[in-house]
Every structure is written in C-alpha cells, then in structure tokens.
Amino acid sequence: MELLEWDARSYDTLPLPHKRWGPGAIARLRLSGDETVADLGAGTGRDAEQLLAALPHGRVLAIDGSQQMLTQLRERLAGQLDRVRVLQADLREPLPVTEPVDAVLSVATLSTTRSCSARSPGCSGPGASSWPRRAARATSPRSGPS
C-alpha cells in the first residue's frame, strides 16, 4: 500500500478538532521533562512543538509517512532540531527504531490507521516489548478514551 502525501501548508490552516486534543494527550503522559517521546503521526510538528516545551531536557522522535508534513515540521521546529529525530516511516510496518523511548504519543493517527505493526503501541508480537508502557492518544468520537 502506498503512503499518502499531504499538502502540509494547507493542512495547518484547517480547523481540525485534533488541534484541541494534543494538549490533553500530552498532559496524560505526566512527563518529568527529561524523557524521549515518540510522536506517531507527527505531521507538521504542532504536537511535537508542545512536547518540546514540556521536555526542556528531553527529546522527540517525530515519525510520519508524509515527506511534505515532515518538511513543514522541520521548518516549525528549526531552532530545536538538535532535540528532534525526524523519521519518515509507514506506521503500518515495523518501525526502523532502535533507540529506546520513554513514552509514545499519537493524537489522531492511530485512530485512523487500519493495521499496526508489532512494534507499535497496542500491538503484540515480536518487538512489541521494546515500546514503553506509557502511551497516550487523544480521545475522539471514533476512538473512545485512551
């Protein structure tokens, strides 16, 4: 299956409900400020920017399938890229991630991804134990509480 490409500049102007969901999902992570957090479906970096504010001594692993979205993310986070690893990857496949993360955030992506890999939160199988126990995703009418 082919990855979707997005018009990142237009995406950031849309009145999407998950703009409101991000802060609540980040708060549920109960971060201390020095963790490494994987942002699955990082998009244009709106939530990664909020994560960096909550992680003054931490890092963000920003993962998305769209090159345009990741280009916009890099522009948004230009002054903070020393604390961000940007990775283009298909979340329906095993992720090429070897470094440990302390928490995982997905604001809208996992509720719209029809299949998941063994190395994604909420999945089981080889590699699943490499993901942290602390994860948060936003609540939406489609996905229910996290």
Alpha carbon distance 43, 6 (integer Å): 9
pLDDT above 80: residue 126:
no
Q: pLDDT-derived band of residue 144, with 50, 70 and 90 as boundaries?
A: very low
In contact, 34 and 58? CB cutoff 8 Å: yes
Two tokens at 37? Answer: 């957090």
For the stretch 82-105, pLDDT in tens is: 999 999 998 888 888 888 999 999
Q: Given the DSSP bridges, would you call strands 59-64 and 134-137 parallel, antiparallel or unpaired?
A: unpaired
Q: What is the pLDDT of residues 71-88, one digit of tens each?
A: 999 999 999 999 999 999
The residue type at 16? L
pLDDT value for 88: 94
**Superfamily in which the 17-137 domain is placed by CATH:** Vaccinia Virus protein VP39 (3.40.50.150)
Q: Enter the tokens of residue 45.
A: 């970096």
Name which of 11-15, 105-109, 114-118 the model is least confident about.
114-118
pTM over 0.85: no
The answer to whether 115 touches 91, Cβ cutoff 8 Å, is no
CA dihedral 58, 95, 88, 113 (to 10 degrees): -100
Q: What is the pLDDT of residues 34-64, one digit of tens each?
A: 999 999 999 899 999 999 999 999 999 999 9
